[in-house]
Amino acid sequence: MLIWLFYLMLKTISITSNRKLGGCAATYRSGNGSVYNTCPNECPLKPDIGSGSSEIDQEYLQAVIDAVPKGGLSWTYTHFTSKQSMRLIPRHVLGKTVINISADTYTDAVNFVLEGYPTVVSVPASFDSKVDVIPIGPDVSVKVVRCPAEYNENVTCRNCGGGRPLCARGNRDYIIKFTAHGNAAKKVGAEVKGGCYGSGGPVAIHWKKTMTATQEVSDIEKLNSWIKTLPNGTFVRHHIVGDLGLQS
């Protein structure tokens, strides 16, 4: 009997120990030969190491969109922000995974949210105000709200927003900002590639472990099977690190 082996690119965790996630389920997605190979080439947070993906895996994208536990919520983030890529990403469909567009400047973030996408932005650590208001015209502005878990130790993804996490609200009209953290935090907002919080520390250790074994099913099959095992009402953070990129 012939058994096809796939690179282990998807790591699934049914109950995380991460304090910020507060016991949510989560995944890590790696790539062939590099943890960054599911991340878009254009992502400025990715180190300039010659690895990355040039396009979204449309079949995997659909699997992620559908990967919501019964009675639960799912959300994720993507740095695929080119116009061509964003044509493939739904703004939001009720009952489906919320895919947040990750911006790297306030200008881009405002443009994305005005186009109707749930949007987040990565900013330097010094941008630590809880709320910013960005004027975009006469008597018109866009609000930027900092992730509450960054400054309130009692808030986790599980209890954020009174049990309805801000990042899982696909129809919101405000931007969520995340301040730089991790070993490469000083590179966020700088004119140099890097700044990904997954490039060091415990996150990097878990991420690299996705490349140390093989599996007999694809990422899509593994994701579909895993979602069905989760208890009713589970919250899922897809891709603590990794993205929607197509693998060669």
Kindly state whether residue 104 falls inside one of the protein's structural domains. Answer: yes
Kindly state whether residue 153 falls inside one of the protein's structural domains. Answer: yes
Characterize 90-124 residue by residue with b for buried, 16 or more Cβ atoms within 10 angstroms of its Cβ, and e for exposed: eebeeebbbbbbbbbebeebbbbbeeebbbbbbbe
Kindly state whether residue 76 falls inside one of the protein's structural domains. Answer: yes
Q: What is the pTM of this model?
A: 0.89
What number is the average pLDDT over the span 211-224? 82
Residue 31 clears pLDDT 70, i.e. is over it: yes
Kindly state whether residue 1 falls inside one of the protein's structural domains. Answer: no
160-203 pLDDT tens trace: 999 999 999 999 999 999 997 554 445 455 454 556 766 667 77
Kindly state whether residue 247 falls inside one of the protein's structural domains. Answer: no
Tokens of 245: 């990129």
User: What is the model's pLDDT at position 168?
Assistant: 97
Give the span between the Cα atoms of 67 and 89, in whole angstroms: 15
Range of the domain at 137: 6-237
Kindly state whether residue 188 falls inside one of the protein's structural domains. Answer: yes
Kindly state whether residue 248 falls inside one of the protein's structural domains. Answer: no
49-96 pLDDT tens trace: 778 899 999 999 999 999 999 999 999 999 999 999 999 999 989 999
Domain count, the chain: 1
Kindly state whether residue 20 falls inside one of the protein's structural domains. Answer: yes
Task: State which of 30-34, 175-179, 212-216 shows the largest mean pLDDT.
Answer: 175-179
